[in-house]
Amino acid sequence: MDNLTFGLTLMVVGMGGTLVTLALLAVIMNVLKKIFPVQED
Amino acid sequence: MFEAIVNALGGLTAGVANLHWSNPVMIGIGCLFLFLGIKKDVEPLLLVPIGFGAILTNIPLAGLMEHEGFLRTIYDMGISNELFPLLIFIGIGAMTDFGPLLENPKIFLLGAAGQFGIFLTIGLALFFGFDKLDAVAIGVIGACDGPTAIYVSSKYAPHLLGAISVAAYSYMSLVPIIQPPIMKLMTTEKERQINMSELSTTTPASKTTKIVFPVVVTLFGGLIAPMGLPLLGTIMLGNLMKESGVVSRLAKASENEIANVVTLFLGIAIGATMEGRAFLTSQTLMVLAFGFLAICLDTVCGVGFGKIMCWATGGKINPLIGAAGISAYPMAARVVQKEGLKYNKFNFLLMHAVGANTGGQVGSVIAAAIMLSVLKGMGVIP
């Protein structure tokens, strides 16, 4: 694989993957807060 | 008899006779690190052992980095097998409070944007002719996260470990100097004055949520990017121990005794990789330059994403907090608070910035994990 293809692939998949993963984690955190609200404590 | 005396004296001068020009230069750099650490209080926990390690390894004929040498033993014990950065991560997890991030989870996105500099720098390093794995290791300086940078470079570019470690920790300590001009350049005065103290979308997280969070992140992140599970798993283990409250002895040991001992070994072993002939190359200067660029690009992307969030929320988010989306915790959050106060003396951005900053910590680990898994998927690493 040449450097240009490698660099572009890593940039697109890396940045996109990081953003999507953290966005999904943010959603999961909101769900967790709904399942385990503060009152429960 | 005379010949014997001459031979004996020859043994005493062999060290000086075998000095390469680069050794005194590196000893000078080691002394500079000691000066910065001791007199200027710049990351002393790392610069003192790194500086002394650099001095030790540049004294000829001592053989400290040769087979069974004292520094080689430490290096093999925890750097070449990536153990030390992972142990440090357990301590970092035990020190980190993800509460501000859990209160406002959408700030997590800033922790993702703050890592974009990693990938942009990899592209630039490839453009300037670096080998694929070298470029990856250089880009990870942009994680602004010493243990992650050491983990990746010791695994895939061990010959750059010294330069990458020095760059990562130096630039982390320079965050208060590097970030403010970029933050100012990228935002308008009106944006910098946005008051977030009345933001109504934050809700506190329960203790159960805080305990479940590290387990969920480990499972979720590990399944998506298994190659980075050692990084993610150790930081989350430390955090689980802290939040559960049932193993406080282990949590305290992780953030104190274990982290302290490992920091000493890590520092001295990194210093040991800074042998003059290997370190004083044009490649080292390039690594330092790209590392600086990576952190600048992280800040640009973080603040840029903060501006997008500001626009999307109708001006409720101060874009300055995007600069805290890097992993330099809690320094980046403090910089945001300080800059925010400059333009609005009633604006307290600290808790929001701490949320973005802890998001940046998880973000840097996730970014590295994703990168390693993508590299494996592309067949670049085994």
pLDDT-based confidence at residue B82 (cuts at 50, 70, 90): confident
Q: How many CA atoms lie within 13 A of B180 on its CB side?
A: 13
Rounded to whole angstroms, what are the CA distances from B199 to B17, B24, B314? Answer: 68, 56, 12
Q: Using a CB-CB distance cutoff of 8 angstroms, which residues of chain B are in contact with residue A5?
A: none
Which residue in A25, A32, A33, A34 has the most chain B C-beta atoms within 10 A of its own C-beta, making it the best mutation to test that interface?
A: A25
Phi, psi of B66 (to 5 degrees): -85, 175
Q: How far apart are CA B199 and CA B350, in angstroms?
A: 13
Mean pLDDT for B180-197 is 91
With an 8 Å Cβ cutoff, are B220 and A24 in contact? yes
Q: Is the pLDDT of residue A40 over 60?
A: no
User: Which of B25-29, B275-279, B327-331, B378-382 is the least confident region?
Assistant: B327-331
pLDDT-based confidence at residue B198 (cuts at 50, 70, 90): low
Which residue in B124, B201, B370, B372 has the most chain A C-beta atoms within 10 A of its own C-beta, making it the best mutation to test that interface?
A: B370
Q: Using a CB-CB distance cutoff of 8 angstroms, which residues of chain A are in contact with residue B375?
A: 10
Mean pLDDT for B206-225 is 94
Q: How far apart are CA A8 and CA B187, in angstroms?
A: 29
Identify which of A8, A13, A21 has the shortest CB distance to residue B221: A21
Chain A: residue nearest B113 by CA? A19
pLDDT 10s digits, B118-163: 999 999 999 999 999 999 999 999 888 888 999 999 889 999 998 8
pLDDT 10s digits, B159-171: 999 889 888 887 8
Q: Tell me which of B15 and B295 has the higher pLDDT.
A: B295
What pLDDT is stored for residue B39 in this prediction?
Answer: 94
Q: How far apart are CA B83 and CA B87, in angstroms?
A: 6
Mean pLDDT for B283-302 is 93
Identify which of B113, B116, B208 has the shortest CB distance to residue A41: B208
Q: Is the pLDDT of residue A12 over 70?
A: yes
DSSP states along B92-108: HHHH---HHHHHSGGGH
Q: ipTM of the assembly?
A: 0.92
Which residue in B120, B145, B208, B210 has the most chain A C-beta atoms within 10 A of its own C-beta, making it the best mutation to test that interface?
A: B208
Q: Does B374 touch chain A (CB under 8 A)?
A: yes
**Owner of token pair 């069974």:** B68
Query: Tokens representing B26?
Result: 């590196």
With an 8 Å Cβ cutoff, are B220 and A33 in contact? no
Q: What percent of chain B has pLDDT over 90?
A: 66
Tell me the shortest Cα–Cα distance from A31 to chain B, in angstroms.
10
With an 8 Å Cβ cutoff, are A21 and B225 in contact? yes
Contact B153, B165 (CB under 8 A): yes
Backbone conformation region of residue B379, classed left if phi is above 0, alpha if psi is from -120 to 50, else beta = left
pLDDT-based confidence at residue A41 (cuts at 50, 70, 90): very low
Which amino acid would we find at residue B170?
S
What pLDDT is stored for residue B85 in this prediction?
Answer: 92
pLDDT 10s digits, B109-120: 999 999 999 999
User: Which of A27-36, B82-91, B201-210, B357-366 is the least confident region?
Assistant: B201-210
Q: Label residue B358 exposed, middle or buried (CB < 10 Å: 0-12, 13-18, 19+).
A: buried
Contact B368, B152 (CB under 8 A): yes
Rounded to whole angstroms, what are the CA distances from B149 to A4, B36, B157, B305, B330? Answer: 23, 22, 10, 24, 18
Mean pLDDT for B44-71 is 92
What pLDDT is stored for residue A38 in this prediction?
Answer: 85
Q: Using a CB-CB distance cutoff of 8 angstroms, which residues of chain A are in contact with residue B380?
A: 1, 6
